[in-house]
Structure 1
């Protein structure tokens, strides 16, 4: 599609976003008492924001104009963050990570695929060159350390070499013979032309020759036209006008690439044209502020140091009247807090006494992204809504927008120079008027009375200190790779995790059972809590912060695949910690602290990064440790909370744990480390059908009537995705693929190989359910369901009493 199409898509999406913002101001700011109404509002907003997200991502991925992309990028990050905030409210309201969205989708006329989370392309594309260089450097380190084997070069046999030489020689002889025959043909043609020149041509024969040539040409053109129309009709080629658009689009892409390479800057022009005016204005404002301050306080103020922002701090300081108002406001706030505490105590006493407490209702939490969305919307209305895009054929830059951004940088440079001059002037004025010398206004002959108390410093943990000040990031990167703690990421996308919605889940939900997410919901949760915050710095800093994520499920359900998918989609480094990977390395607490420090330092410097802890239940195991390696691995459990405290909102570092036996661990410390827990189920019938079909075709197999996929999906009930992959690889060997032409695949081959594996039994599923019910979110779900059941019973009792009263009357 052309650039005009995506500009129109951006405009339509921006109007829809303005409508959503207006709706939020009207609905979400008012307290609501009806929980069903609140849930409907949140779910509707979630679906609509997802649609806006998908359209903005398409516009951002295909627009060439860099300033337009920057404007779309700001709104795109805001929509992603708003989605995470709404998801937090939905989880708090329902006490569950998976929600029943069927009714909302039906009302909005959407399909389940519309609530899939799209992954923005810019997560990887903007840093593609850096990621490729880093991957190449890691591969070289692993090869030199012997941790990665090079692909073996297969040597040719004598027969294969002779055959290659024969083929090349026959091709050479064929080309030589063709050239020889062409020379003979041209020679004969020249001889015939000479003979024709000697003989006189009849006019009728000449006219016939011309007609023959013209009719042949005309018929060839008609045939070519008919062939093109047929190809367009069959959908095998594009119409001419569409091809012309694609050529124009390619030209625009080339123009965009040139535009990306060029660095447009107007700093020098701004310094020459506006520098002197900016300097005079700043000096006048600072002088006026000093004079007013001396008039109020009786002395000139101290010049703020550069650490606090220099002259910027002068304009931030408030007048005495504003300070008095703030103090009065603080006193009122303290009184309100004391009053609320008294009310809380009274409510607690009333609950103990059995009295009813009035619930004020639900209210939306304050948002960090609505201001970003409103700013992006206003920027679009000012700069881009009424812009003439037809005249901007090359999608070139806008100089005024670039100047607006660089003007602030020029002002900051000039402000630093003005601060140096004004600081010297202030010292001279103080000495002449007030008789003060020195930067802090000390009078001569008087020293400081008493020693000033230094403010108490915040305690810094060991991981936040720089334990390796003399080492470079490259050396730490190399050491972690050589020790097997920094591994290569497998190129797996989140969409490769195949699965469909479980339609029977809503029936189980009505019975009060703990809801288990289906595979599409697992993809959504991984994208929301893992990929989106890691991919965007703005989202990570302002969204609800998730530092740790746990993937729990039976062996073979794809936990490792999801970890690699997070790193692939976000372009993140992958650090791996298991009991085997640190066996014999970093013994003792201090060495483990150093190891975590190196991981954290490299992860912050080369962010985004993922720290993956495999078999994490062994770190929190209940029994006594078996051996020194197990003890060393368990020591990490005490250091992980300190590691998470060292991860700040600006650090895109995520801790991901995987476990197939979470019920073997101590629940208390286990749940304290991992903020979000995603329980991954085994595949249902429809998912198993798709898995068998996908992996058989991917392995090179051919599906015929002899392969009954329905039967395979039914027989493999209870087996995981890993079982299906292993069975397909076992059956589709190289020898079996060669025999497929005369011996087609049969269902019995896969069933026989599947019978050698053990499925996930019901007892193991119940153990996962019982364990998840003991987690904080599981307990909240049980309490929520109990409260709803109590409300239903009260409503039934009221209804019965009402009927009895009517009967008596």
Structure 2
């Protein structure tokens, strides 16, 4: 239903706000397609025809890949060679049709399926009892307008990209003019030139899971404990103060280290907001994979659970201990990845979770962990991440305590890295204040500042356990005539074993390694 406020003016407003960003994203997408073809084959592919969808075919992966183009070219050369040698063609097997009358497919079936899919996607989970006046749903209207806007922007960008491709091909021919071998740029086939609506389309690969119901795949992953529950927490449960020095550093474009309060903003930006809906995932910058790393007990698992809880995601746990002894062999491994990919798209938003994320890419595996065979899924994970497209609402999320032990492929796999810092004074002061004031008998003027200074670098969860241990039921009974002293909590806090300086230096070194890799990538781009 279209509301009175959603007229041409609303569409123009949407065009003004989102149009430039959409054009930039579509242009980057097509440029990436150009680069892949040039880096692999040294030339560019034919741009898809407008009446077949144009760059929509590129975005949805329906055009040929460079490898498929080479296979097709070799096949044509073999057929031409066979014709020259006058080899008799192989007789085609005669297909016997089963006797009897078959009911033809009705033309209304596609309309019914489309209406059913629209109902499942947009209306099956809506509670109409809260909307007795049948007011319009603005999210549906916005999504439809955004989709129409994207198609309009794509047509404009396609025309510009066709002109750019023509100039690139001319420059390429000029560069290769002195080559000994004859250089040719791919063109449409002769029979395709007569009908401009025909281009070389990627042949759809046979899906081995096509005949298997998604519910059966879901149950199989559930029984294998790959799909599992998670503790429901939210980002509002993450306690951390912002750094005012970092605010000035950002304004002056200086390097700075994140604080716990800023980690929440990064997680929200990279992991939560893109997964809210298909439209936001399609429009937002594509983040396929994120690695959250830091010292032990820093709060990485809490952040992972909060991401899942915020968007109501389905969690696929592909950690090495979960997959021990399961799906052994290349065919079974491929089947598992295909199953996860299919189920994750149907039940989006989905999080593909990898704990101890560095293990599949370890440089050396210790003898104690060789039985886990953590490296056998490394290539499969790369393929899984590369298959994530805009609008899929899928995120590959890994946690790591020792990312410095992984190979370069581990860094290349992840689009973003978030380091969870140690606790700071401001955060600890707020945490102690909130934690101790929950107990009725604790003095309101207890020296929280002293506790915060003594606890810098100690995880919040360890502090919570220490306070709960000190303020046992027996001790709470005596608070009225024997007030709590900070030294009691300090004695328990000092039992914490700090990470070694080598561990901290290794993470600092890895952080610099990431910055260097990002700088090299920018130079290449």
TM-score interval, smaller chain: 0.5 to 0.7
Mapped partners of 1:537, 1:488: distance in 2: 23
Mapping of residues 659-808 of structure 1, within 5 Å = 659-666=400-407, 668-697=408-437, 700=439, 702-705=441-444, 707-775=446-514, 780=519
Change (3 A) 1:503 1:763: farther
Aligned partner of 1:257 among 128, 131, 139: 131
Corresponding residue SS for 1:591: helix
Change (3 A) 1:497 1:594: same
Corresponding residue SS for 1:775: helix
Mapped partners of 1:69, 1:562: distance in 2: 39
Change (3 A) 1:593 1:330: closer
Change (3 A) 1:652 1:723: same
Structure with higher Rg: it is 1
Change (3 A) 1:494 1:579: same
* Aligned-pair CA distance for 1:574: 1.5
Mapped partners of 2:313, 2:417: distance in 1: 21
Mapping of residues 370-385 of structure 1, within 5 Å = none
Deviations 1:7-28 (A, max 9, x none): xxxxxxxxxxxxxxxxxxxxxx
Mapped partners of 2:291, 2:374: distance in 1: 18
Corresponding residue SS for 2:373: helix
Mapped partners of 1:484, 1:555: distance in 2: 25
Aligned 8 A contact 1:502 1:518 in 2 = yes
Mapped partners of 2:465, 2:124: distance in 1: 35
TM-score (norm 2): 0.61
* Aligned-pair CA distance for 1:74: 9.2
Which one has a larger percent helix, Structure 1 or Structure 2? 1
Question: 2:188 maps to which residue?
Answer: none
* Aligned-pair CA distance for 1:715: 0.1
Aligned partner of 1:540 among 272, 281, 285: 281
Change (3 A) 1:644 1:756: same
Corresponding residue SS for 1:599: helix
* Aligned-pair CA distance for 1:508: 7.8
Change (3 A) 1:648 1:685: same
* Aligned-pair CA distance for 1:734: 4.1
Aligned 8 A contact 1:80 1:539 in 2 = no
Mapped partners of 2:15, 2:227: distance in 1: 32
Mapping of residues 352-371 of structure 1, within 5 Å = none
Aligned partner of 1:487 among 204, 208, 228: 228
TM-score (norm 1): 0.41
User: How many residue pairs align between the two structures?
Assistant: 384
* Aligned-pair CA distance for 1:519: 2.2
* Aligned-pair CA distance for 1:602: 1.7
Mapped partners of 1:454, 1:510: distance in 2: 50
Mapped partners of 1:584, 1:702: distance in 2: 53
Mapped partners of 2:499, 2:279: distance in 1: 41
Change (3 A) 1:506 1:523: closer
Corresponding residue SS for 1:774: helix
Deviations 1:625-684 (A, max 9, x none): 536765532111111111112222221110001111111111x10012111111221121
Question: 1:635 maps to which residue?
Answer: 376
Mapped partners of 2:359, 2:450: distance in 1: 38
Mapping of residues 322-361 of structure 1, within 5 Å = 334-335=166-167
Change (3 A) 1:613 1:81: farther
Change (3 A) 1:651 1:580: same
Deviations 1:167-201 (A, max 9, x none): xxxxxxxxxxxxxxxxxxxxxxxxxxxxxxxxxxx
Aligned 8 A contact 2:441 2:480 in 1 = no
Root-mean-square deviation over aligned CA pairs: 4.6
Aligned 8 A contact 1:603 1:653 in 2 = yes
Mapped partners of 2:521, 2:217: distance in 1: 47
Change (3 A) 1:697 1:490: farther
Corresponding residue SS for 1:678: strand
Question: 1:44 maps to which residue?
Answer: none
Question: 2:202 maps to which residue?
Answer: 457
Aligned partner of 1:597 among 338, 359, 370: 338
**1:572 is aligned to 2:313:** yes
Change (3 A) 1:69 1:570: farther
Runs of 4+ in 1 over 6 A off after TM superposition: 68-85, 126-129, 340-343, 506-513, 781-784
Mapped partners of 2:377, 2:125: distance in 1: 32
Mapped partners of 2:258, 2:498: distance in 1: 20
Change (3 A) 1:701 1:755: farther
Deviations 1:106-159 (A, max 9, x none): xxxxxxxxxxxxxxxxxxxx999969xxxxxxxxxxxxxxxxxxxxxxxxxxxx
Aligned 8 A contact 2:354 2:398 in 1 = yes
Deviations 1:709-730 (A, max 9, x none): 1011100012122322332333
Question: 1:191 maps to which residue?
Answer: none
Aligned 8 A contact 1:514 1:778 in 2 = no
Question: 2:78 maps to which residue?
Answer: none
Aligned 8 A contact 2:321 2:372 in 1 = no
Question: 1:653 maps to which residue?
Answer: 394
Question: 1:502 maps to which residue?
Answer: 243
* Aligned-pair CA distance for 1:542: 2.4
Aligned 8 A contact 1:579 1:630 in 2 = no
Query: Structure 1: which 5+ runs fail to align?
Result: 1-64, 89-125, 132-252, 264-325, 344-452, 785-809
Aligned 8 A contact 2:222 2:228 in 1 = yes
* Aligned-pair CA distance for 1:79: 11
Change (3 A) 1:543 1:747: same
Change (3 A) 1:454 1:258: closer
Mapping of residues 26-45 of structure 1, within 5 Å = none
Change (3 A) 1:778 1:711: farther
Query: Structure 2: which 5+ runs fail to align?
Result: 26-120, 138-158, 176-197
Mapped partners of 1:750, 1:544: distance in 2: 46
Mapped partners of 2:212, 2:2: distance in 1: 38
Mapped partners of 2:16, 2:437: distance in 1: 38
* Aligned-pair CA distance for 1:758: 1.6
Mapping of residues 16-415 of structure 1, within 5 Å = 67=3, 257-259=131-133, 334-335=166-167
Aligned partner of 1:517 among 258, 261, 267: 258
